[in-house]
Amino acid sequence: MRVTQKVKKILDWYEGDNPGVKANLARILSTGKLGGTGKVVILPVDQGFEHGPARSFAPNPPAYDPHYHYQLAIEAGLNAYAAPLGSLAAGADTFAGQIPLILKCNSSNSLATSKDQAVTAGVKDALRLGCAAIGFTIYPGSEYAFPQMEELRELTLEAKDSGLAVVVWSYPRGPNLDKAAETALDICAYAAHMAALMGATIIKVKPPTDVISLEAAKKSYQGFDGSTMAKRVAHVMQASFAGKRVVVFSGGENRDLDGLYEDIRGMRDGGANGSIIGRNTFQRPKEQALEMLNKIIDIYLGKA
């Protein structure tokens, strides 16, 4: 694995982390078609837990097979594949060493009445499966946010002591946040900053909209121009230690490709490190998904 000067510069941002963490971050940044550029595209497949199998995979039945997602991520030349314990374990031997893995260590489900997350895997599982990182979701703004942060603190300490990187899904929600607030610019920037403060190696947030939600924050945003995705993403990057953390943005629900590509161009122009795209990818037939992912990679390479 050749580590480029761009990747070395990114590794320098993580001054408090040990060589094992930096080596695994370098693995992710140096894999696939975007390897060495500082940009990443990651495939996350935890939607079966969150939404149920049919809602996740019925649009493209081959995706019921965990091997399908390994193959898709590898064939597309992605940087990493993220999934819960069972999915990764189902293909960890067959695809060992072919793509960096991120073990999603907590999950929710749509059958539950509470919108908390259960811890479903740990660092020992990640090490056994040969993962480069663990993943963990926090819900800033929810009544469960503080226990989730405490769980993340413990897992982060154990993961980094073992040389694993930590990917934090930081998704605001809760009784004081309506749907518009969950993706508001000030809230997304706040969520990214919280993940950085918690020690995240890689931060995952939703693309921000041109909404300022918190009344107390509106004065701070007076005169701020959030009219384009690029400007909004640049602010989220600014909130992530002045751009000194790797930040990736989700793709959201299945949608029309032109709108998705336009958003990703805005993310690129705003300095985002990349995208983490699940349903928009695996709910399409593989050939269509590969074509879409190749276009996304070309956007981050400045070719489209």
Residues tagged active-site: 204
Q: Which two tokens stand for residue 57?
A: 């995979």
Q: Name the region of 136 (left: φ>0; alpha: ψ -120 to 50; beta: rest).
A: beta
CA–CA separation, 12 and 22 (whole Å): 9
**Tokens 């963990």 -> residue:** 136
Q: Which two tokens stand for residue 172?
A: 């605001």
Q: Which two tokens stand for residue 253?
A: 């629900």
CA–CA separation, 129 and 86 (whole Å): 11
Question: Which class for 137: exposed (0-12), middle (13-18), buried (19 or more C-beta within 10 A)?
Answer: buried
Question: Which class for 294: exposed (0-12), middle (13-18), buried (19 or more C-beta within 10 A)?
Answer: middle
**Tokens 């590794």 -> residue:** 11
